Amino acid sequence: MRNGVKRIAFSAVSLALAIAISYFESYIPMFVPGAKPGLSNIIILLVLYIATWKEALFVVLGKVFIVSLLRGNMFDVIFFMSLTGSFLSYIVMVLSKVFLKKLTPVGVSLLGAYFHTLGQVMALSIYMASIEMFFYFPLLSLFALATGVLTGLVAQRIVEMNIFSLNS
Amino acid sequence: MKKFLRSHLFDGIALIALALTSVAILLGLLFSRTSSNHLIATIYFKNEVVETVDLSKESEEERHLEVKGAHSEVIIAIKRNYIGIEENDCPSKTCIHMSPLAKSGVIVCAYQMIRISVGESFSDVEVL
């Protein structure tokens, strides 16, 4: 199979998985109000490490748009929070993977999770025109760090298993 | 175990740095919170003040205030030094879990575009 076809197939399957995980994880009860486990970040990390930043961007943006469409909140505040958080997280993960070579997928994941929360709070602050939204940032970010480590460990384990190869 | 820790040394440093940042912000917010006998709650819808309530002048008996949200009515429970969202038909119910407030702070429902801000005085609410 040609490499390009493999990449497209890998991106499409990854997007489908990210959407499914993102949609169903909202039904997992959380003890921190407004927090989510961010399990779909495992898929984004895998795409980032196995494919390239382009495929990862496709999965990130595709996930945001399609999950919003499924939940019926397209272009409302929740959509913009999701978009800002996901995009900021993606940028930070790509930059940290490129420039902070000593970080493993665990470190990249926790940075991504932290900045995802920051992006969401920033979007909400702009939308509500109030800096008070940052009141929730410390608790949400501490929770994000914990889930970021967990998702990073899972992603690292899968990357190390070397079961996906796009170059052969 | 040693190998694991060595390979994740920089991840650990990043984790500690970010966690300390969050803890510092959290402590700053906690110490700045007030629980005086004079709490003012301001209810906003789409960044406009809908109602301002002096919580210290409320009775011990709970009353309910209906506020029009972006999608439906939101019911807010108010009594002396206490305010919280009682009913809201948003999907996540996050604001209900954030409620109630008996100290200075904020309750937000992004879905309904409603924000309840509690401060020690009227000027606090404006400054926050």
Q: Which residues of B touch A (CB under 8 A)?
A: 7-11, 14-15, 18-19, 21-23, 25-26, 29, 44, 47, 91-92, 94-95, 97-98, 105-106, 108, 110-111, 113, 115, 117, 128
Identify the H or E element spanning A39: none
All domains in chain A, ordered by first residue: 3-161 (1.10.1760.20)
Identify the H or E element spanning B48: strand B48-54
pLDDT(B128) > 60:
no
pLDDT(B5) > 60:
yes
pLDDT(B89) > 90:
no
Checking A24-32 for CB contacts under 8 A at 24+ apart, the result is A26/A71, A26/B92, A30/A143, A32/A139, A32/A140, A32/A143
Task: Kindly list the distances between the CA atom of residue B115 and the CA atoms of A103, A133, B29, B75, B120, in Å, as whole numbers in the listed order.
Answer: 39, 9, 18, 13, 17
Binned at pLDDT 50, 70 and 90, residue B35 comes out as low
Nearby residues of A79 by Cβ (< 8 Å), 6 or more positions away? A64, A68, A73
Packing angle of the helix pair A137-161, A40-50 (nearest 10 deg) = 50
* pLDDT one-digit tens code per residue, A71-130: 888 888 889 999 999 999 999 999 999 999 899 999 999 999 999 999 999 998 888 888
Sheet with B105-109, edge to edge strand ranges: B48-54, B40-45, B114-119, B105-109
Report the residue of B6, B9, B15 to disrupt the A interface, i.e. the one with the largest count of A CBs within 10 Å: B15
Task: Kindly list the distances between the CA atom of residue A89 and the CA atoms of A40, A61, A93, A141, A147, in Å, as whole numbers in the listed order.
Answer: 12, 12, 6, 13, 14
Chain B nearest-CA distance from A136, in A, is 9
Sheet with B63-68, edge to edge strand ranges: B63-68, B73-79, B82-87
* pLDDT one-digit tens code per residue, A9-55: 999 999 999 999 998 887 887 777 778 888 999 999 999 999 999 99
Three-state DSSP state, A53 = helix
What is the identity of the amino acid at B45? F
